[in-house]
Structure formats: C-alpha cells, structure tokens
Amino acid sequence: MAFIDALRGVAVLFVVAHHVGLYLNPMGYMPWAFANFDMGQFGVMVFFVCSGFVIPASLQRNTSLKDFWVRRFFRLYPLYWVSAIIATSMYVLHAVPPERPLSHQPLQELMVAEPLKTVLANTTMVPSLFGSYSLIAPYWTLELEMLFYVLVSVLAVTKLASRTVPVVLFFMALAVGGGVMAFGLEEPVPVYIAAMFSGTVLYGLHTGTLSSRTVLGVMGLSVAALATAAFFYAKGGIIWGLGSMLLAWGGPILLVTAATFLSRSLTVPSGLLWLGRISYSVYLMHLLLLVAIPPTGNIVTTILVWLAAIFLVSAVTYRLVERPAMNLGRRLTSPRGDNAPSPAPAPAS
C-alpha cells in the first residue's frame, strides 16, 4: 500500500506548512487559514482517513486483539515518549519562547502550577482523561487515534467489524448530529471519528470486498454529511469559516478516495514514499524544532533551515527509535517470524 505512505507524506507536509505559517506570520496566516484553507486541519484529516484505511489491515494481520494492541503500543509510544521528554526539558529550561509556544496557554499554566501531574498525565497519550492538556499542541490527534483503536476493538469483539458500511454511516450521522447540537464546540470529535471510519470503507474497495458503486455511494454521503456538519459548526461560531472547513474536511475524503481508485496505476515518487515512512517522526518532532530554532532575518532562509532540521532529525529518530520499536513489537507478536504469510483478509460489507 505504497500510496498510503504517499498520502501520509502529503498530510505531514500540510501540517508542517501550517505551523511554519503560524510561527512566521501568525497575525497574517491564521485569519487567512480560518477564512480560506486551514492546511493543518486538512493534513490531520488525511491522516485520520489513512488511519481508518490501515487499522483494519493491521487487525487482520494480527492473530489476536492483544497482538494488535502490542504492535500499536510499540508503534506509537516509544517515539512519543522521546518527544515528550524533549518537550518537558524545554519547559524546564524555559526554552519555549512566548511567540512560538509548544502548546496552548492552559498547558503552560499547568506546567508552572502542577508540573509533575501534567507530565505524568501526558505519558499516557490521553492527558484529557486526567484533566490535563497536551505538552505539544499536535498531541490532541493522538488522543483521537487511541479512541479510534478502542472503537474498532469493541467492534471486533462484538463481531461488528465486518459491517463496514453501516458503521461509517452511523458515525457520519453522529458527525451531523454533533454539528447540529454542539454550537461553538472547538473540537468536533464526531467529525474526526467519522473520517477515520470512512477510511475503512476505502480499505474494503482496496481488498475487493466492497464494490466501486457501494464505495462511491458511501463516500458521496460522507462528503455530504461532513459538509452539513461544517455548515452547523460554522453557524455555531467555530473558529473556521465555512469555506475553510469544507476544504479541510471534505477535501481529504475526496483525495484518499481518488488515490484508492487509482492506487494500482499510481507511481509513487521515492521521496514522497520516504517522507510517508518517517511521517510520524516528522509529526512529533517538527514543532519542537520550530520552537528550538529561532528564525533568521530572511524568511526563505528560515524555512529552508527549519525544513532541513525537521527532515534530518526525523530521519534519525525513525532510524534509532521508531523502526527498532516497531520491529520489537513484531518480534513479540510473530512467533513464526516476520516473513510468515499474513492471514487472508476477512470479508467486509
């Protein structure tokens, strides 16, 4: 599934571009993004749809739900803890300039008032469950990833995981309902979860267990549902304008759908494939580097220095932390060895 790595590469480029714009010209970029096109939201939604695509495959490759969670743990937590340790050190050393914060103001206040509790809450990847905030702003997406893993695990246990189409339609309905009821809600969680489950439908197309007509119908309904949700969220005063939300929420659905249909004829550039492979490292490390490296007087030079540092450090953390941790997770859950054939895909409908 090389095209999924390519999409991850695209997604992380949009997220990095969003934060570069935020730190270089916050007073100019943010109003434009909220009114026209929020690149960060777009990138995150691409990530979410790709997660929905990949997780069914991951569940099928593992012989048990326990193996799935072991692999997910080693896939996510070791590198996450490395980034959290670096972030904590930056807070302790007062190396976070106010003009380029790592996280939102409430977190910065908590790091002064309750530093130990805040750091310990963040080690779990779900600090909101402990009344805290994320050490680094992008961590909020990881909490939603964990919620998605719990939901797909429940569906697997209850034998509903194969009911792909009803499940995605249910969560799309929740997204619309959330938009109708949650006026002013800053985190439209139902929308993000619905986007993830739309990826499971696209996985059905990729494996041949769902017809093209079915997938196109479901994706069309998904885009319509997200557009409806965007209308009500915008009407309720959420920070994005309607046009920006439509691009950031509907665009990723259309992009990943098109890529899935064209996947067998697409040629993925090697550079984009490489970027997709290290995208998790880029996602966790880029904000730390944008904060740690002060801008120069020249905007172009600043962007080039930031990008070079991000890609270099991310390649190193992927090689030294991320990849070894993933390999360890595979060894712990694959007694037959990594070269053993994967089980046949289960039917999805």
Task: Write the pLDDT tens digit of every residue in 272-296.
Answer: 999 999 999 999 999 999 999 999 8
Please give the backbone phi and psi of residue 26, each rounded to the nearest 5 degrees, phi first. -60, -40
Residue 9's pLDDT is: 95
Question: Which of the four pLDDT bands, split at 50, 70 and 90, describes residue 56?
Answer: confident
Question: Which of the four pLDDT bands, split at 50, 70 and 90, describes residue 349?
Answer: very low
3-state secondary structure of 346: coil
At residue 339, does pLDDT exceed 80? no
Beta strand ranges found along 16-169 (DSSP E): none
For residue 189, how many other CB atoms are within 10 A of its CB?
16
More confident residue, 268 or 337: 268
- Please give the mean pLDDT across all residues of the chain: 87
* Contact assessment for residue 332 and residue 70, using Cβ atoms and an 8 Å cutoff: yes
Q: What is the pLDDT of residues 133-192, one digit of tens each?
A: 999 999 999 999 999 999 988 888 887 766 778 888 888 888 887 666 654 445 678 889
Q: Rounded to whole angstroms, how far apart are CA atoms 258 and 42?
A: 16
Q: Where are the domains of the chain?
A: 2-333
Question: Among residues of the chain, what percentage have pLDDT more than 70?
Answer: 91
Give how far the C-alpha of residue 168 lies from the chain's centroid of Cα atoms, to the nearest Å: 18
Residue 148's pLDDT is: 92
Q: What is the pLDDT of residues 115-137, one digit of tens each?
A: 999 999 999 999 999 989 999 99
